[in-house]
Chains A and B, each alone.
Chain A
Amino acid sequence: MTPLLEIRGLTKAYPGVVANDDVSFSIAPGEVHALLGENGAGKSTLVKMIYGLVRPDAGAMTLGGGPYTPAEPRAARASGVAMVFQHFSLFEALSVAENIALGMETPPKPRDLAQRIHHVSRAYGLPLDPDRMVGDLSAGERQRVEIIRCLLQNPKLLIMDEPTSVLTPQEVEILFHTLRKLSAEGTAILYISHKLEEIRTLCDAATILRLGKVVATCTPREVSAAQMAEMMVGKSLSQPARGATEPGEVLLHVSGLSLEPASPFGTPLRHIGLEVRAGEVLGIGGVAGNGQDELLAALSGERRVEPGMIELRGERIGDTGPEARRKRGLLCAPEERLGHAAAPDMSLTENAVLTGRTRRGLDRSGFVGWGRARAFAEEIIARFDVRTPGPGVAARALSGGNLQKYVIGREILQDPDVLIVNQPTWGVDASAAAAIRQALLDLAQNGAAVVVISQDLDELLEVSDRFCALNEGRLSAPRPARGLSMEEIGLMLGGAHDMHEAQLRAATEAAQ
């Protein structure tokens, strides 16, 4: 069959880095093609060139036999290329229909559009109400908005960038069902993901990028996930190791924690109760937007609650601020690296002072001891293998993985009794992620209580002793993590969420 999209020798360089170096591959109509690679391997740049957001320096593309040089996304869409973004390109304060209209070249009248949304969303098993405000939708529903926006344009090629990172296992099933249906109808799909098992179940072919170059191609069904991981990273990865420890005394006790959200689209916390013991890792799973940010804010002290709702070693600390909690041994590393965990334009040394000043004695009577602060920053850099020219560099200049190692390391080296981390390895490449997980396990091994909030279920199963799910601001009862299956976790996450059960079952059966 003649390929739908063919890419030959595509090259794009940015100052100091070649993002894509002589990349070639092709996709046939109806083919589901995986693009694999670590962060920084050049996947995003490549799809941005296909979608017309970035222009290549060299190389050529053909679409359906003719030359294809999209100058802007509009041109790409007109040629039949549609894209579902990793970070949703949606407008929270606008309705579903308005969001969809914005992504179309010539949208029909509002009433006709609403009808077409109903029609297409039902045909593909993705129910949606066109009049709802996007800010009120769950992550899975938001993704449906994006997908339907693409489908309404009858694309020949659909690009999906990390589509499953925010979905529950059941929602992933429904998505795959939709994608298979599209593929059977002749739509080609370019699928970007880190999740190798997913690629093995869904994709017909895979192109693997490393440092901007195509290093391998394979048929995912015929190779193992471990083999693909090796091709991606270029070396084999070690699983985090842990010794067996008996949990000690209860360090953190939370009961009846309720909190109204600070922002209009936030989630209220409802009667959350949890208990973490010394030497234990508690994993909290859940799809983004189910109260993770609010829970972290309440535990860190950014939002104050009733004193008795949070107890540290029996001491009521619910109404104390972050600094008082740090002094007592409760430290946090929030999800957003730039702007929450670290001040982007301040140096690594200054960022070290921001949370480390009390426990590491970095200031005295209001004066910062810069010598000690720099020594602390250098210690973090050395112990956690942060790749940076030195502690004077601005936090913004570090790559995501390196900055994440730095902010987690900064908290771990303060020797916490309780450490709470939100999305510790989000957007971090595989080897840095393994290092961070190992550090968290080591910390627990040494007698600290660790709470890991994450959307990455594989990660949670790897590090946690007990697992519980956060769904619409409610926390499920914890269960031992060992032996927990994905289906059980999906049900704990409230998997079906906003779906009718029958629909869900139908979609799951059809997918099998």
Chain B
Amino acid sequence: MLIDPVTLVVALIIASTPVLLAAIGELVVEKTGVLNLGVEGMMIVGAVTGFIVAVETGSVTLAYLAGMAGGMVLSALFAILTQVLLSNQVATGLALTLFGIGLAALLGVGYPGSTPPRVPDIFPQALQDIPIAGPILFGHSAMIYLAVMLVATVWYVLQHTRTGLILRAVGESHDAAHALGYKVIRIRILAILFGGACAGLGGAFLSVARVQNWIEGMTVGAGWIALALVVFASWKPWRVLFGAYLFGGISALQLRLQAAEVNVPVALLDSSPYVVTIIVLVLISSDRARAALNAPASLGKVFHASG
């Protein structure tokens, strides 16, 4: 056996967490009817701000907070442009990605190769030494568990609380929500900021905990995968978790296949997560009626409060 399943599972959990964080944030944003295509840009800005703070202060917690702040600043820009100035969401989101990548490269000059502080594991060594279950369940830093808890929280809030009901209602029909007196724009801005914080946190986890280095353009499409994941999950939080681990698993597996010198072209393996994403998207959207049923009905539409 060339590939050890236990290390593969451990690797896939770590590999999928940045995407998971970004995707769960974007899910909330899209549930309120806003399509923010700038996830990639917010992630990479979060990655660089998190990394800089990690190197300068030596605190992992501060680094994560800085990553969230970085993502939020960018998403605030998106919120002002699309919700206050009513610009087109698709174009603004794309621009945000390009802007974020450039801004991150500028901020990160001089940091590649710096060493961030070590991210501590939270469970004692004894638990981690349990065979199989130890490394998989207890061998991670706090953020891995926080990410799963975040998914659970988002699911609970959306499904079982009044706040969640209002969020879904705004995404379903902003006109009806407005007529009932809900503050559509304020709710959407808050959701966008939440999405920005999640994407930034995902980026910070990537640079500080997973790669432990800053490399220009290091997110390499993770933000786009996160966007695809939300559709793949048909806007359901638990399916986002499943999808993130699935995609994380594919990318972890392809690295190991390469290392094991399986006779498959490297380029093909590298592109496999993206190819699988496309295939899955085609499959789930082949039933038009079903896909339309799950999507928030006002997704991507400009809301203009009249009269």
Q: Which residues of chain A have a CB within 8 Å of any CB of chain B?
A: 44-45, 48, 52-54, 72-74, 77, 85, 87-94, 98, 101-103, 107, 261-264
- Which of the candidate stretches B72-80, B90-98, B288-296 sits at the interface with the other chain? B288-296
**How far apart are the CA atoms of A262 and B288 in the complex, in Å?**
8
Q: Decide if B162 touches A264 in the complex (CB within 8 Å).
A: no
* A91 nearest in chain B by CB position: B172
**How far apart are the CA atoms of A103 and B166 in the complex, in Å?**
10
* B182 nearest in chain A by CB position: A102
Q: Decide if B173 touches A263 in the complex (CB within 8 Å).
A: no
B293: chain A residues at CB < 8 Å are: 93, 264
Q: Which of B162, B176, B181 contacts A74 (CB 8 A)?
A: B181
Q: Decide if B165 touches A72 in the complex (CB within 8 Å).
A: no
Q: Which among B172, B181, B290 has the highest number of chain A CB atoms within 10 Å? A: B181
Chain B nearest CB from A80 CB (Å) reads: 15
Ranked nearest first, the 10 interchain pairs of A and B with the lowest CB-CB distance are: A73-B181, A89-B176, A89-B179, A91-B172, A264-B293, A264-B289, A74-B181, A72-B181, A91-B169, A102-B169
Contacts A/B (CB < 8 Å), 19 sampled: A44-B307, A45-B307, A53-B179, A53-B181, A72-B181, A89-B176, A91-B169, A91-B172, A91-B177, A92-B172, A92-B297, A93-B293, A93-B297, A98-B169, A101-B162, A102-B166, A102-B177, A102-B182, A263-B289
Q: How many residues of B contact A (CB 8 A)?
A: 22
Q: Which of B169, B181, B182, B290 contacts A264 (CB 8 A)?
A: B290
Q: Which of A45, A89, A98 contacts B180 (CB 8 A)?
A: A89
Q: Decide if B292 touches A264 in the complex (CB within 8 Å).
A: yes
Consensus secondary structure, chain B interface: helix
Consensus secondary structure, chain A interface: loop
**How far apart are the CA atoms of A85 and B162 in the complex, in Å?**
23
Contacts A54-B307, A91-B172, A93-B172 given; indicate if A102 touches B180 (C-beta within 8 A).
Answer: yes
A54: chain B residues at CB < 8 Å are: 307
* A45 nearest in chain B by CB position: B307
B162: chain A residues at CB < 8 Å are: 101, 107
Add 5 more A-B contacts to A93-B168, A102-B165, A261-B289 (CB < 8 A): A54-B307, A85-B179, A92-B173, A93-B293, A98-B165
Contacts A53-B179, A93-B293, A263-B292 given; indicate if A48 touches B307 (C-beta within 8 A).
Answer: yes
Q: Decide if A94 touches B169 in the complex (CB within 8 Å).
A: yes
A89: chain B residues at CB < 8 Å are: 173, 175-176, 179-180
A101: chain B residues at CB < 8 Å are: 162, 165
A48: chain B residues at CB < 8 Å are: 307
Contact with A along B161-201 (1 / 0, CB 8 A): 01001101100110111011110000000000000000000
* B176 nearest in chain A by CB position: A89
**How far apart are the CA atoms of A264 and B172 in the complex, in Å?**
14
**How far apart are the CA atoms of A93 and B234 in the complex, in Å?**
14
Chain B nearest CB from A339 CB (Å) reads: 12
**How far apart are the CA atoms of A101 and B160 in the complex, in Å?**
13
**How far apart are the CA atoms of A98 and B179 in the complex, in Å?**
16
Chain A nearest CB from B162 CB (Å) reads: 7
Q: Decide if A73 touches B179 in the complex (CB within 8 Å).
A: yes
Interface residues of B in 275-297 (CB under 8 A from A): 288-290, 292-293, 296-297
* A48 nearest in chain B by CB position: B307
B165: chain A residues at CB < 8 Å are: 94, 98, 101-102
A261: chain B residues at CB < 8 Å are: 289
Chain B nearest CB from A287 CB (Å) reads: 20
Q: Which among A48, A77, A91 has the highest number of chain B CB atoms within 10 Å? A: A91
* A99 nearest in chain B by CB position: B169
Interface residues of B in 137-162 (CB under 8 A from A): 162
**How far apart are the CA atoms of A88 and B292 in the complex, in Å?**
20
Contacts A92-B173, A98-B165, A264-B293 given; indicate if A103 touches B307 (C-beta within 8 A).
Answer: no
Chain B nearest CB from A187 CB (Å) reads: 20
Chain A nearest CB from B268 CB (Å) reads: 37
Chain B nearest CB from A247 CB (Å) reads: 40
* B181 nearest in chain A by CB position: A73
**How far apart are the CA atoms of A88 and B177 in the complex, in Å?**
11
**How far apart are the CA atoms of A107 and B293 in the complex, in Å?**
26
Q: Decide if A91 touches B307 in the complex (CB within 8 Å).
A: no
* A110 nearest in chain B by CB position: B160
Q: Decide if A52 touches B181 in the complex (CB within 8 Å).
A: yes
B292: chain A residues at CB < 8 Å are: 263-264
**How far apart are the CA atoms of A107 and B169 in the complex, in Å?**
15
A45: chain B residues at CB < 8 Å are: 307
